[in-house]
Amino acid sequence: MPSIPHAQLATTQISVINESTVLTDAEVTPVVAALQQQVTNDFRPIWGVDAELKLIPQGAQPPAGTWWLAILDDSDQAGALGYHDLTPDGLPIGKVFAASDLKAGMSWSVTASHELLEMLADPNINLTVFVQNADTAGTLYAYEVCDACEDDSLGYPINNVQVSDFVYPAWFKSFRAQASTQFDRMNKIQTPLQLLPGGYIGMFDVTAGTGWQQQTAERVPTNVRHRGHVGSRRERRAVTRDQWVVSLAQRKINSNAQLYRQNLQSLERRKTAA
């Protein structure tokens, strides 16, 4: 597949905001560098989207007009810190729940890669592909570029940082031939719309009236991400746009984050005392 010349692309500015209690800025820094390499070297030539990432240390203010990739503890913290569906400037936001990943034995760097690439490919969380299977019936598939091959084991390392595999545009095109087409970065997918083990995709049956559902590679979902964290892209896709909420100002987020950490410390002291 021919690559798109860099000079023809606009570059999105993304602030990587570390508000996690389980990761230091020093631990996040090499991951941001690996994500930058993935976007520039692997994702941009295929998807025609470029971005410049900048780490925002804990307590610092992100530049106005940037998209956000927020590293949080868990989905409860998304509410505690005021991270909702859009930045204060009304721009896209991606969320990485690092503590949830660590508790589940999953890689937070793969999740960060996953959320970043999907935000770049579909920032408004509204793109779909329609597969019509009858005159009055068909299915919408969410335009998510990492879900089908999202399992940690399917990713690849960049400077010892594991990042997510991602599908190519051909994955959404049913006419593509297997022999002559690459469907994902790691070349593990063999056919359009194929789901690898641990993978899934959002589906909307336009005639069933059941809303967004998850199709998985297995009969029973094996990954906690299939349930969708509060504040995740999966949850946001199922929520009407008029119910999306703009995030708080960063100084208020920092204040809430401090209170959140104090509450965690208080709970730990109580548990120790008991």
Q: Mean pLDDT for each 10-residue chunk of the chain (274 residues)? A: 57 94 95 98 96 92 94 74 77 92 92 97 94 84 95 96 97 80 95 93 88 81 59 80 76 73 80 80
Query: Which residues are CB-contacts of 127 (< 8 A; sequence separation ≥ 6)?
Result: 121, 142, 143
The pLDDT score that the predictor gives to residue 153 is 95
Scanning the chain, the segments in alpha helix (DSSP H) are: 25-37, 44-47, 75-80, 98-103, 108-121, 233-237, 250-273
Take residue 246 and report the two structure tokens written for it.
């703009």
The pLDDT score that the predictor gives to residue 252 is 74
Spatial CA neighbour of 191 closest among 182, 200, 204:
182
**Which residue type sits at 86?**
L
Q: Reduced to 3 states, what is the DSSP secondary structure of residue 7?
A: helix
- Please state the pTM of the whole predicted model: 0.85
The pLDDT score that the predictor gives to residue 104 is 85
> Which helix (DSSP H) or strand (DSSP E) does residue 162 occupy?
strand 161-163
The pLDDT score that the predictor gives to residue 39 is 98
Q: What are residue 198's phi and psi, to 5 degrees?
A: 85, -5
Whether the CB-CB separation of 69 and 96 falls below 8 Å is answered with yes
> Which helix (DSSP H) or strand (DSSP E) does residue 156 occupy?
strand 156-158
The pLDDT score that the predictor gives to residue 12 is 96
**Which residue type sits at 7?**
A
The pLDDT score that the predictor gives to residue 3 is 56
Query: Which residues are CB-contacts of 37 (< 8 A; sequence separation ≥ 6)?
Result: 158, 159
Scanning 55-183, the segments in alpha helix (DSSP H) are: 75-80, 98-103, 108-121
